[in-house]
Structure 1
């Protein structure tokens, strides 16, 4: 990502306001503008429609928008603001309104909280967040609410440390299927790592036959650098070795474009989703592709890895759609 626009979707909930802070920092990192989008409540939309249809001049021109006022106060108190900041009140359903503004502006990313005001407390991912991540024509970053210590103030969870919240520490973790993940996903991950001055950790899975010898999921996986790839005479399993080599082939063009970005490679047996969820505890961002273009009905489905990571991640997740019809 560089220049352009970052959209923060807000509804006044703590989840969305932490997403706003993440979006503010992202816009600063990339030299981008910040658009704060608020889909008006049903009552606000009904009021606007009533005033428009009745032409009642005695009614105020604008419906009171406490979310806009809160956003202005938070941005005014922020240590730094992007050069361009604007606020837009949207009408319609939340998923459709955000899908439309994403299509119209083609932002670097549309950032939203994992749950809004209408979400159930027991759910890690709200229906609106899932719907937007599934259908938006742009990258969607879902920011889960930061874990706060008892008695922590309203500003807790928005520091620069690793883990949950809006921090900039940690690596950018990329979930890569070497044969299916679109180049757009890799490009986003490398651009984000370059802007943060951090490494990209690439996680790919390889199939293994059922066996009691398969390592349990809580066993730490080995992370290597490209220079540490083993040869044919090494102890690494052939499937793992082949996966690491396939990773290198896919990563080569991006290493050429971003020589300043260190890369760590990891190949794990079985599925990648659980490993990505675990990595999200300390990652600055986990990046996954939304789906394989040839295996889904347009933008109406999400791959199992992206779905699992979104549902269970401990930190921000970027879901990147393929912007071209054909995969690489």
Structure 2
């Protein structure tokens, strides 16, 4: 994580798993001599058409006043090497974090909510930040979603043939090098096509499926330059004829960090993450680092 501001931002309001997010970010900041800033917002962005009752926010100032010090307490055990600040803001959490991310090294969020209206809000907020942030975003998830956050295992990265994955590959090599763990480079491709008329999947004729050698060369080409830059990183290539989403979800069961790119474009369209990134931030069994091409580190 070079060439950027030294601040790691942690959103501690409006997401499940905020405590795990603070602890994960505190370990990262302490290990890399970075500053940690805990951000709690009093307002929640409500989708158009929903009327939130006034009493819902009557105790927000007092609640916000409690949450920021709590976050500082959670970060304290990881040493004094990383300055920790806690701030409470009366702004929309996604808007504030997106704005602050332009000068940050990384934004860290807890896992998304899953139950009822609050869960829908949390999921929309996380998607908005991930799609529009000016720096990489980590959604901290554990085994089984709300289980322990893994601290060992390799770093895994999803690799495709688009320019969007270049930033993800760079971030993954950097993370694996710093953590001194292997990097699993996953490239998945499927041998089925969708029939737009019948809305069914059908096998591609055998002569069209002789892609294995081609896909192997493409994966090697995407990794070669980075392997030269990070000779200390052991790279394990995994090429699978399957859907990328399912392969990466399976790999997250063994990894300590999953790195993916996204096609977010800003505005409303930018909130529509690619299906693979969307699935991972909601269902991964380890923290997910999402890197947009425009948000290089």
Which TM-score tier does this pair reach, normalised by the shorter chain?
0.7 to 0.9
Higher strand share: 2
**Higher helix proportion:** 2
Q: CA deviation at 1:287?
A: 0.7
Q: Distance in 1 between matches of 2:160 and 2:131?
A: 19
In structure 2, the residue corresponding to 1:66 is in which secondary structure?
helix
1:190 aligns with 2:173: yes
Structure with bigger RCO (C-alpha 8 Å, 6+ apart)? 2
Question: C-alpha distance in 2, partners of 1:118/1:207?
Answer: 33
- Which stretches in structure 2 are left out of the alignment for 5+ residues? 45-54, 193-201
How many pairs were matched up?
273
* TM-score, normalised relative to structure 2: 0.78
In 1, the alpha carbon distance for the partners of 2:284 and 2:92 equals: 26
Q: Which runs of 4+ in 1 moved over 6 A?
A: 42-49, 121-125
Which residue of 82, 103, 106 corresponds with 2:104?
Answer: 106
- Deviation of the 1:13 alpha carbon: 6.4
SS in 2 for 1:126: helix
Structure 1: gaps (5+ residues): 50-61, 149-156, 158-163, 215-236
1:29 matched residue in structure 2? 31
Shift in Å at residue 110 of structure 1? 0.6
Whether 1:255 and 2:227 are equivalent positions in the alignment is yes
Listed as ranges, the matches of 1:63-74 within 5 Å are: 65-74=65-74
> TM-score, with normalisation over the residues of structure 1?
0.71
| Map of 1:88 onto structure 2 | 87
Determine whether 1:319 maps to 2:297. no
**C-alpha spacing 1:266/1:97, structure 2 compared with 1 (3 Å):** same
Query: Secondary structure at 2:86's aligned position in 1?
Result: strand
Work out whether 1:133 is the aligned partner of 2:130. yes
Alignment root-mean-square deviation, CA: 3.6
Structure whose CA Rg is larger: 1
Deviations 1:142-161 (A, max 9, x none): 1125559xxxxxxxx8xxxx
Q: Which residue of 2 aligns with 1:274?
A: 246
